Amino acid sequence: MATRWGICGAGKISHDFSVAMKTLPPGDHQIAVIASRSLERSKEFAKKHGIPKAYGSYEELANDPDIDIVYLGVLHTEHWRVGLLFLKAGKNVLCEKPFAMNSRQVKDLVTAAKQNNVFLMEAIWSRCFPVHAEVRRLLAEEAVGELKLVKSYFGSPQLHIPRSVEKELGGGALLGYRRVDESVVVVMKFSRNRMAFCAFSIAARLPNDAVIAGTKGSIKVLGPMHCPTTLVVNDKEMKYPLPEPCLPLNFTNSTGLCYEAEEVRQCLLKGLKESPRMPLADSVLLTEIMDEIRKQVGVAFSQDSQ
């Protein structure tokens, strides 16, 4: 039986997610309903993507008994509020990244999911890509020896995009998308003298690649490393092509969103309440790290004091 999806939010990422779903077997996945704050916009979205039902409010989706999971694609400043609405209504949720504005909000979502015995996952799609699975396999086999250094770059010019630069919209290089952090460099030290160097920017065009270096070689994830299709292991290149889209996409390699959709389906079929590829504890830790980075660079959001 197909997993029945309810899409919350009729914006760009929801469009791309819906296009990606078309690359999966229709017997496995079905978008049953689209909900936004505008019924007119929902109907337009439904027509474009062949979705049978459209709602003009999130509450209607929360009360719909005929869906298995909600894809939460609204602006991330709204993830906490709208996410709690669905979780408390007993709905399974795949929430777009970033999960929420800070670790307190993320912990609220995790607690609500556990209290209501529902599935919850942050849509860190990178973890579901075939390249990511291959990297984990290579590291487990010590293909590059003992891991010593990770270096990554993630940035593109976005100063012209309101949601990237406005604090009220959760902008900044760290949370994604001045009054916020324009560029950030993060250096982290781990046990056994292992280091990580990460650079983020909404002002500069960075190579958007990642290098994982060990004592016997290196793994390079070619750009765009957050949705990768090419891996270079000790100078040997491997390619992992994506499905072709049936409609134009808003973001790079968005048909790769199909991988997280299939991960959700497999988790639901197994009765899991979280994904082993992206456990809730990892989401909490990730947000705590981002909270600390924002603290050190002096960026605070209004949600931090609420």
Average pLDDT, the chain: 94
Q: Which of 111, 90, 126 is nearest to 223 (CA)?
A: 126
Q: Which two tokens stand for residue 168?
A: 């009220």
Distance separating alpha carbons of residues 111 and 220, to the nearest angstrom: 37
**Mean pLDDT for the stretch of residues 159-183:** 64
Cis peptide before 98, with omega less than 30 degrees from 0?
yes
Predicted confidence at residue 24, as pLDDT, reads 98
Give 159's pLDDT tier (boundaries 50, 70, 90). Answer: confident
**Mean pLDDT for the stretch of residues 119-139:** 97
Write the DSSP assignment of 178-209 as a string of letters: --S-SEEEEEEEEGGGEEEEEEEESSS-----
Predicted confidence at residue 258, as pLDDT, reads 98
Predicted confidence at residue 178, as pLDDT, reads 52
Predicted confidence at residue 183, as pLDDT, reads 87
Q: Which two tokens stand for residue 162?
A: 């309101």
Give 68's pLDDT tier (boundaries 50, 70, 90). Answer: very high
Question: In degrees, to the nearest 5, what angle opens at C-alpha 81 toward C-alphas 4 and 154?
Answer: 80
List, for residues 174-190, the tens digit of each pLDDT value.
555 455 568 899 999 99
DSSP state of 161: -
Distance separating alpha carbons of residues 103 and 287, to the nearest angstrom: 5
Domains, the chain, with CATH or none: 1-129+244-305 (3.40.50.720), 130-239 (3.30.360.10)
Write the DSSP assignment of 249-292 as a string of letters: -SSTTGGGHHHHHHHHHHHHHTT-SS-SSS-HHHHHHHHHHHHH
**Mean pLDDT for the stretch of residues 98-115:** 97
pLDDT score of 97 more than 90: yes
Predicted confidence at residue 182, as pLDDT, reads 84
Predicted confidence at residue 47, as pLDDT, reads 98
Distance of CA 19 to the CA centre of its chain: 16
Distance of CA 110 to the CA centre of its chain: 16
**Mean pLDDT for the stretch of residues 111-130:** 98
Q: Which of 281, 247, 226, 278 is nearest to 94 (CA)?
A: 278
pLDDT score of 170 more than 70: no
Predicted confidence at residue 177, as pLDDT, reads 44
Q: Which two tokens stand for residue 287?
A: 């947000």
Distance of CA 5 to the CA centre of its chain: 17
* Residue corresponding to tokens 């280091």: 195
Predicted confidence at residue 44, as pLDDT, reads 98
Q: Please give the torsion angle defined by the CA atoms of residues 115, 117, 123 and 124, in that order, rounded to the nearest 10 degrees.
A: 80
Say whether 131 sits in a helix, a strand or coil.
helix
Environment class of residue 9 by beta-carbon count within 10 Å: exposed (0-12), middle (13-18) or buried (19+)? buried
- The pTM of the full predicted model, rounded to 2 decimals, is 0.94
**Mean pLDDT for the stretch of residues 287-293:** 95
Least confident of 60-69, 165-174, 240-249, 268-277: 165-174
The residue with greater pLDDT, 83 or 302, is 83
Widest pairwise Cα distance in the chain = 58
